[in-house]
Amino acid sequence: MASKALILVGGGTRGTRFRPLSLDIPKVLFPVAGKPILSHSVDAVAAVPSIKEIILIGFHEDSVFKDFIADTSKQYPHLTIRYLREYKAMGTAGGLYHFRDVILRGNPEKFFVIHADVCSSFPLKEMSNMFADKKARAVILGTRVPQKIAQNFGAIVADEDKKVIHYVEKPETHISTLINGGVYVFDQTLFDVIAAARKRREDPEIVRFDEENDNDVLRLEQDILVQLSQEDGFYVYETKDFWRQIKEAGSALPASALYLNQQFQADPKAPGLQAPSATIVPPVYVDPSAVVDPTAKLGPDVAIGPNARIGKGARIKDSIVLGDVEVKHNATVLHSILSTGAKVGAWARVEGSPTNRNEHTPYTVKDGIKVQSVSILAKDVVVGDEVHVMNTIVLPHKEIKADVKNEVIM
């Protein structure tokens, strides 16, 4: 039977931690490994034969996804893709319930729910197989993280049969290193659980201080998964593959590296991926319209966007370079993100600090102080010749004429 995929894309009043990169482009459309974050989950969905329709749910303006939907429809003509806009921010479960009639149209056997800001190999087929084998009502993607950060995520406790027996969102004490990966498979009874949660919230004896006591606002993690864990039919598929959450702006960088490595391992000759050479250390993605001087050295883990210009002797490593960026001759860019139209002068250095991708944080500790590990130049930032920018975030349209370190330039 046919199934559907629902991708939760959020809205303009969310994703503030992704600033300054989200000031000129919505987070889910920010390019990571050469394509929008959202495209990676769509590509995974398109590879599942049973899925015939993709529904994007959020509260961005309708125009935000117009071009994305047009391009995706051409790339995957077998899929129907549409955007459903909430009239207000309704929470991750509230939006699903609001559009339940559209979601249930055609009587889908099951539907996938995916948070757009997840970086993963998206084992949707494996989750679908578990869903069928266990005759499940719900399957959640689980992944292991270090104990010291597990409390920042939804904690899952499962038995030997992978049945979820306990779920807590961001627990105050350690419960489990198995956490919620933000990808789900549900059957239609999900909407019965959401309806019951709405009814509980209407109880005048329940005192709430969140979301202005709005009964339309329901959160999938706090309001629904906790309830499902107390019932039968809820299972976890634990992935051993890579997983990251893309929250802060700096988290786009390790996500890009993970996707680039996945693409290079799957097909080293894929469009845009560069062959190893004296000046290319894979994986490196270069848009066909970008101009890279043959003496520039790129990689590993580098993505170069459209119409970018990379000068003679430039060195770029572990970085995202967006469209229309100019990196002049002999400049160095390390562990950094350069947004659209940024310019790095000759002999300048823009660098962050290398971090462990398993740490799940864009911060590092320098001299006992917590600092941003990724340097970020927002749109149209100009770094002068021979200027050194280190562990610094620069907001749009600024010009940096002197060395800066461990700062936020507003």
Identify the weakest region by mean pLDDT among 117-126, 209-218, 294-303, 371-380.
209-218
Phi-psi region of 391 (alpha: psi -120 to 50; beta: other; left: phi over 0): left
Residue-averaged pLDDT of the chain: 91
Q: By the 8 A CB rule, do 366 and 349 touch?
A: no
Q: Can you point out the beta strands (E) in 149-299?
A: 154-158, 164-169, 178-186, 234-238, 243-245, 284-286, 291-292, 297-298
pLDDT digit string, tens, across residues 327-353:
999 999 999 999 999 999 999 999 999
pLDDT at 10 over 90: no
Catalogue all structural domains in the chain, each as residue range(s) with its CATH number.
3-245 (3.90.550.10), 280-409 (2.160.10.10)
pLDDT digit string, tens, across residues 182-239:
999 999 999 999 988 888 777 655 545 454 455 567 888 888 998 899 889 999 999 9
What type of residue sits at position 307?
A: N
Q: Model pTM? A: 0.92
In the structure, what pLDDT confidence band is assigned to residue 359 with cuts at 50, 70 and 90?
low
* 53 phi, psi to nearest 5 deg: -145, 140
The proportion of the chain whose per-residue pLDDT surpasses 70, expressed as a percent, equals 91
In the structure, what pLDDT confidence band is assigned to residue 362 with cuts at 50, 70 and 90?
low
Which pLDDT value is given to residue 365?
A: 64
